Amino acid sequence: MAADCIFCKIVAGEIPADVVAESEHTIAFRDINPKAPVHVLVVPKVHERDAASLASAEPAVAAELLAQTRVVASQEGYEDYNLVFNTGENAGQTVFHAHVHVLAGVDVSKLFL
Ligand code: 5GP
Ligand code: ZN
């Protein structure tokens, strides 16, 4: 656990979160500031600064994280969904504990992609 990491604190149960799914190495909870009808964050229980670092350090956990996105979307009633990995401060990353945004019910015509 990294000191002063908000997601480590959520993983440890030290601060509350609306948890929607859990697997051996990941936890999924609703984003506090949802940007879509479904906006869930899937995070590894282990602390890594971003998803690419997680993939380098713990590839099996990164794969589990990716697989969990479908579990979450499906649980929320969506077969189709978008994933966002903000990586680095200049790309909008604000929490430096690896996570993926699972977004569903988004009007894709409004995405910048
Ligand atoms: P980033 O911009 O780093 O990819 O996304 C971090 C996300 O974490 C943001 O969408 C933000 O709303 C969410 N977030 C920040 N603090 C908390 C918190 O304490 N609880 C929850 N559930 N979400 C948080
Ligand atoms: Zn952390």
**Over 90: is that where the pLDDT of 110 sits?**
no
Catalytic residue flag (residue 99)? yes
The token pair that represents 73 in the structure block: 């979307």
Pocket of ligand 1 (CB under 6 A): 6, 17, 29-33, 41, 86, 92-95
What residue segments make up the domains of the chain, in order of their start?
6-106
What percentage of the chain exceeds 70 in pLDDT?
98
pLDDT of residue 108: 81
- Interface pTM (ipTM) of the complex? 0.99
Quick check: helix, strand or coil at residue 38?
Answer: strand
* Alpha carbon distance 30, 35 (integer Å): 11
What is the 8-class DSSP label of residue 52? H
Residue 112 CB-density burial (10 A; 0-12 exposed, 13-18 middle, 19+ buried): exposed
State the average pLDDT over residues 12-35. Answer: 97
Ligand 1 pocket test, pick from 41, 50, 54, 85 with the greatest ligand atom count within 8 Å of Cβ, gives 41
Ligand 1 centroid from CA 32, angstroms: 6
* Alpha carbon distance 79, 61 (integer Å): 23
Ligand 2 centroid from CA 16, angstroms: 15
Ligand 2 centroid from CA 48, angstroms: 7
Backbone angles phi, psi at 62, to 5 degrees: -60, -40
Q: How many alpha carbons fall within 13 Å on the CB side of residue 88?
A: 3
- What CATH superfamily classification does 6-106 receive? HIT-like (3.30.428.10)
